[in-house]
Amino acid sequence: MRDDDGGGEGRLVLAGAPIGRVDDASARLRDALATADIVAAEDTRRLRRLAGDLGVTLGGRLVSYYDANEAARAEELLGALRQGETVLVITDAGMPGVSDPGYRLTRLAVEAGIRVTALPGPSAVTTALAVSGLPSDRFCFEGFPPRKAGERGRRLAALAAEERTMVFFEAPHRLREALTAMAEAFGAERPAAVCRELTKTYEEVRRGTLAELAAWAAGDVRGEVTLVVAGHDPGAVETDIAELVREVARMQEAGVPRKQAIVDVAKAAGVPKRELYDAVHRP
């Protein structure tokens, strides 16, 4: 097992960047930007603008570090760390490595015994969780749902029984599709919150059921979006699955195909389709 004493070599600094308001930046971030030997930024133009807004002159070399060049750049930055340099990684917003570049270099540095530290900063994940009004004692971060409908449906179905509050990122133009898929997988009545433009001028937190939020998202939604969805509550008073199974059977007797009957009954009852499907096919 390697410890994290740094071995007398360089230091990797993962820096949290403001997710909206520039004045959320810490004094430590200002100092680190001014003193790091190398600043690896997801977008160098945005980083220069941030530094200007903070009144900071970058003291070291600025390089790009984004998804497309992360693998190659990580090796290069590891070499600089081995030479004793301080490398600061910063993304456009939030913490590096959280749905943003940073994990690969961190892993390499840890394996090489190089010291890794962080400058804590704003996070859309914990900010959205805090303002959502949903349970925050236990939660999980699920990143961006898959873009393709089939993959997204399978991923969400696997989360239907997750009891922790779930936090997702999503692009505004895919928000309605994502909420609709979640309503189908988790149940239309599952509580959730859409957090948009957090900490910015037009911040908005929309709370409701997944069905209600999916209907709202049919409009023109813009900006950065974070979704918070309540976990499955096995102790809550829920619709009697046995009665829903009987309702599916009655619809089948009336001539409705079983698959369609399951979809219709699950949607009307606000229960996950997979849960009812499993109950119908249970021996």
Residues 6+ apart with CB under 8 A from 257: none
**What local confidence, expressed as pLDDT, does residue 235 receive?**
63
**What local confidence, expressed as pLDDT, does residue 236 receive?**
58
Binned at pLDDT 50, 70 and 90, residue 239 comes out as low
List, for residues 171-224, the tens digit of each pLDDT value: 999 999 999 999 989 988 899 999 999 999 999 999 999 999 999 999 889 999
In this model, does residue 273 exceed pLDDT 90? no
Binned at pLDDT 50, 70 and 90, residue 7 comes out as very low
- Of residues 61 and 187, more confidently modeled: 61
- In this structure, what token pair is assigned to residue 245? 């199974």
List, for residues 137-171, the tens digit of each pLDDT value: 999 999 999 999 999 999 999 999 899 999 999 99
**What local confidence, expressed as pLDDT, does residue 179 receive?**
97
Domain locations in the chain as residue ranges: 6-122, 125-229, 241-280
List, for residues 68-112, the tens digit of each pLDDT value: 998 889 999 999 999 999 999 999 999 998 878 889 999 999 999
**What local confidence, expressed as pLDDT, does residue 233 receive?**
84
Specify the CATH number of the domain 125-229.
3.30.950.10
**What local confidence, expressed as pLDDT, does residue 204 receive?**
96
Q: What is the mean pLDDT of the chain?
A: 90
Instruction: Kindly state which CATH superfamily the domain 6-122 is placed in.
Output: Tetrapyrrole methylase, N-terminal domain (3.40.1010.10)
Q: Where are the beta strands (DSSP E) in the chain?
A: 11-15, 38-41, 61-64, 86-90, 115-119, 139-143, 165-170, 191-196, 204-209, 225-229
**pLDDT, mean of residues 239-263:** 87
How many percent of the chain have pLDDT more than 90?
Answer: 72
DSSP codes of every residue in 107-118: HHHHHTT-EEEE
CA 17 remoteness from chain centre:
16
Binned at pLDDT 50, 70 and 90, residue 8 comes out as low
**What local confidence, expressed as pLDDT, does residue 5 receive?**
47
**pLDDT, mean of residues 270-277:** 81
**What local confidence, expressed as pLDDT, does residue 44 receive?**
94
Q: CB atoms < 10 A from the CB of 173, how many? A: 11
The alpha carbon dihedral of 71, 72, 75, 79 has a sign of negative
**What local confidence, expressed as pLDDT, does residue 270 receive?**
72
Q: Where are the beta strands (DSSP E) in 3-93?
A: 11-15, 38-41, 61-64, 86-90
In this model, does residue 6 exceed pLDDT 90? no
Query: What pTM was estimated for this model as a whole?
Result: 0.78
**What local confidence, expressed as pLDDT, does residue 260 receive?**
93
- Angular region, 94: left φ>0, alpha ψ -120 to 50, beta rest: left
Contact 40, 88 (CB under 8 A): yes
Give me the residue label for tokens 């919150």.
Answer: 193
